[in-house]
A = this chain, B = another copy of it.
Amino acid sequence: MVLHVLRRNLLRIPLLVNRNYCSVAKMPSALLLVAEGSEEMEAVISIDVMRRGGIDVTVAGVTGTDPVKCSRGVVVVPDKSLDEATKDTYDMVVLPGGLGGANTFSQSNKVKEVLQAQEASGKWIAAICAAPIALVSHGICKGKTMTSHPSVKDKMLPGCTYSEERVVKDGKLLTSRGPGTAFEFALDIVQELMGKEKRDVIVPPMLVKA
């Protein structure tokens, strides 16, 4: 009996160690903002692909927790309000496009604070389609090389060096162009936070063209 209890307890030691280890090793995290008029494909492809990649994603409503009507009428419920969500910090802040949503991001002091804090702490920022105009409006990543949806190129200058690549990386900034580049954008986010191996694992089951 004594031996049995002893053996059982000994066997538990590695388990406890592992449990502690797991609770300490936090998953890489991302904060994705949504507002009325956000482009639903860009938001949802980013969220879904990041979660497939093992990133802990929080979807935050810039104006609160109410359901958000996106640019083509899809209604999405945020996980949290931006005020609530920013009690935590995140490895990556992701802004989907859609002109209505991007204008809200551009005019929001709270979004400005979030982006400034992210940049100041040397963490990642990612923006797609019309959303990079919010970076320029708030003076974030000044002078860096960026892209955006072609229709808002004029609003991007002279705040950045403009590129027409589908996804552009400059330091800890990723920018991209539209719904049709959203898979590449989201997979690049996964690659930066989780590694190339993880990207390579999640691509085939999605049937994304290489």
A48 to B76, CA, bound (A): 13
Output the nearest chain B residue to A57 by Cβ-Cβ distance: B73
A94 to chain B, nearest CB (A): 14
A141 to chain B, nearest CB (A): 21
Q: Mark A71-109, 1 if CB is under 8 A from B, else 0.
A: 111111101000000000000000000000000000000
A64 contacts chain B at the CB level, 8 A cutoff: no
How many chain A residues touch B (Cβ–Cβ < 8 Å)? 37
CB within 8 A of A47: which of B39, B48, B72? B72
Q: Which of A8-16, A23-31, A178-186 contacts B (4 or more CB under 8 A)?
A: A178-186
A40 contacts chain B at the CB level, 8 A cutoff: yes
A193 contacts chain B at the CB level, 8 A cutoff: no
A37 to chain B, nearest CB (A): 13
Inter-subunit contact A44/B40 (CB<8 Å): yes
A208 contacts chain B at the CB level, 8 A cutoff: yes
Inter-subunit contact B207/A178 (CB<8 Å): yes
Q: Mark A187-210, 1 if CB is under 8 A from B, else 0.
A: 000000000000000010111110
Inter-subunit contact A180/B206 (CB<8 Å): yes
A52 contacts chain B at the CB level, 8 A cutoff: yes
Output the nearest chain B residue to A128 by Cβ-Cβ distance: B207
A58 to chain B, nearest CB (A): 10
Inter-subunit contact B151/A179 (CB<8 Å): no
Inter-subunit contact B166/A178 (CB<8 Å): no
Q: Give 7 CB contacts A-B under 8 Å.
A: A39-B48, A47-B74, A76-B77, A166-B207, A179-B206, A179-B207, A209-B209
The 3 A-B pairs with the shortest beta carbon distances in the complex, nearest first, are A180-B208, A178-B207, A75-B77
